[in-house]
């Protein structure tokens, strides 16, 4: 299985298993089932509401087209909206346990999802899907063209993903700690932080890492000066390691 190997700015090595083409196809088919179910329910309800109505026969072609257009809007923006709200997952992706992330290991943003969505028109829709299949099968990271343009990849969240990161490691004699107030934490606190951080990174749950940062700040009174939540938590672990080694 192809892997997406990332070395972060904190020298944390992460190996994500990229989602296989088959997994992405199954997720896509599941999303199509969701869309089909949506159409069925909406048109069934409309049929029930208009059944026997004297206004049914008065609807002209343009009105019918407008109604169909409005009904189809959620379908048109389905992947863009769901990936934006559910951090890289549609319903199909969530069921198959795959997710969109940036190839630098961080959480993709709306702009990234928008680029991927725009490219769906030329590489996913209908017969054009052959373009996406060719791209994924020839890419080392199983990326379609939209992924390449957005700098994203689809990873597997199954349990065989590994992350090489430990709290008790040699940080070097030249290491300069950033957050002295980290000593307010106990060994048990840091153990929980470490386990939560590693689990969240392993599943690409960056929202959890952000909540972890907020929790640490509330408990210790530390105010982050790091670039992002991932960098902050990693620095907290390094600083605690530094102070406990030098106490």
Give tens-digit pLDDT for 33-54. Answer: 999 999 999 988 887 777 656 6
> Which of these, 200, 229, 199, lies nearest to 217 by C-alpha position?
229
Structure tokens at 139: 């890419």
Residue 120: closest CA among 36, 187, 53, 24: 24
Residues 19, 21, 24: CA angle, nearest 5 degrees: 70
User: Does 192 lie in the same domain as 95?
Assistant: no
- The last residue of one of the domains, among 138, 156, 174, is 156
Q: At which of 156, 184, 209 does a domain end?
A: 156
Same domain, 209 and 142: no
Same domain assignment for residues 172 and 58: no
Q: CA–CA distance from 87 to each of 69, 108, 109, 142 (Å)?
A: 27, 7, 8, 19
81 token code pair: 């909206």
- Exposed, middle or buried by CB within 10 Å (0-12, 13-18, 19+), for 49? exposed
Q: In the prediction, which pLDDT does 84 show?
A: 93
In a shared domain, residues 108 and 175? no
Q: Are residues 132 and 11 in the same domain?
A: yes
Supply the mean pLDDT for the chain: 83
Give the model confidence (pLDDT) of 87-135 as tens digits.
899 999 999 999 998 887 667 889 999 999 999 888 887 777 888 889 9
Q: What are the phi and psi torsion angles at 222 (to 5°)?
A: -70, 140
**Residues 195, 150 share a domain:** no
Structure tokens at 104: 């630098």
pLDDT at 73: 93
Do residues 53 and 97 both lie within one domain?
yes
- Total number of domains constituting the chain: 2
Per-block mean pLDDT, blocks of 10 residues, the chain (247 long)? 60 71 94 96 83 63 85 93 92 93 80 93 80 88 92 81 47 81 84 85 87 92 91 89 72
Q: Which of 66, 71, 3, 67 is nearest to 35 (CA)?
A: 71
Q: Please identify, among 126, 156, 186, the residue that sits at the C-terminal boundary of a domain.
A: 156
Residue 92 shares a structural domain with residue 64:
yes
Residues 56 and 145 in one domain: yes
Q: Could you write out the DSSP letters of every residue in 152-196?
A: EEEEE-STT-EEE--SSS---TT---S-GGGGGS-HHHHHHHHHH
Q: What is the pLDDT of residue 10?
A: 46
Smallest Cα–Cα separation from 146: which of 24, 13, 55?
Answer: 24
Helices 229-245, 187-202: inter-axial angle, 10-degree rounding = 150
Give yes or no: residues 45 and 143 share one domain. yes
Q: pLDDT value at position 30?
A: 96
Residue 170 sits in the same domain as residue 150? no
pLDDT value for 14: 63
C-alpha 170/C-alpha 147 separation (Å) is 37
Measured at the CA of 124, the angle between CA 120 and CA 126, to 5 degrees, comes to 125
In terms of residue numbers, what domain contains 36?
Answer: 3-156
Residue whose tokens read 């159409």: 39
Do residues 120 and 92 both lie within one domain?
yes
Tokens of 131: 């373009």
Residue keyed to tokens 């599943």: 203
């Amino acid at each position: 299985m192809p892997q997406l190997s990332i070395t972060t700015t904190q020298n944390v090595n992460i190996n994500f298993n990229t989602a296989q083409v088959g997994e992405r196809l199954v997720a896509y088919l599941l999303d199509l089932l969701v869309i089909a179910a949506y159409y069925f329910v909406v048109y069934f309800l409309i049929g029930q509401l208009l059944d026997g109505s004297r206004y049914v026969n008065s609807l002209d072609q343009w009105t019918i087209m407008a109604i169909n257009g409005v009904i189809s809007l959620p379908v048109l923006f389905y992947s863009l909206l769901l990936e934006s709200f559910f951090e890289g997952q549609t319903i199909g992706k969530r069921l198959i346990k795959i997710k969109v992330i940036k190839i630098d290991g961080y959480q993709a943003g709306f702009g990234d999802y928008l680029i991927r969505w725009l490219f769906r028109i030329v590489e996913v829709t209908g017969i054009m899907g052959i373009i996406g299949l060719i791209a994924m099968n020839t890419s080392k990271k199983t990326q379609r063209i939209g992924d390449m343009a957005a700098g994203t990849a689809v990873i597997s969240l199954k349990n065989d993903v590994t992350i090489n990161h430990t709290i008790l490691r040699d940080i070097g004699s030249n290491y300069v700690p950033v957050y002295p107030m980290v000593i307010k934490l106990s060994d048990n606190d840091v153990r929980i932080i470490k386990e939560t951080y590693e689990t969240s990174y392993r599943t690409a749950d960056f929202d959890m890492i952000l909540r972890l940062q907020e929790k640490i700040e509330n408990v210790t009174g530390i105010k982050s000066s790091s670039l992002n939540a991932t960098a902050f938590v990693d620095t907290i672990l390094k600083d605690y390691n530094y102070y406990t080694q030098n106490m």
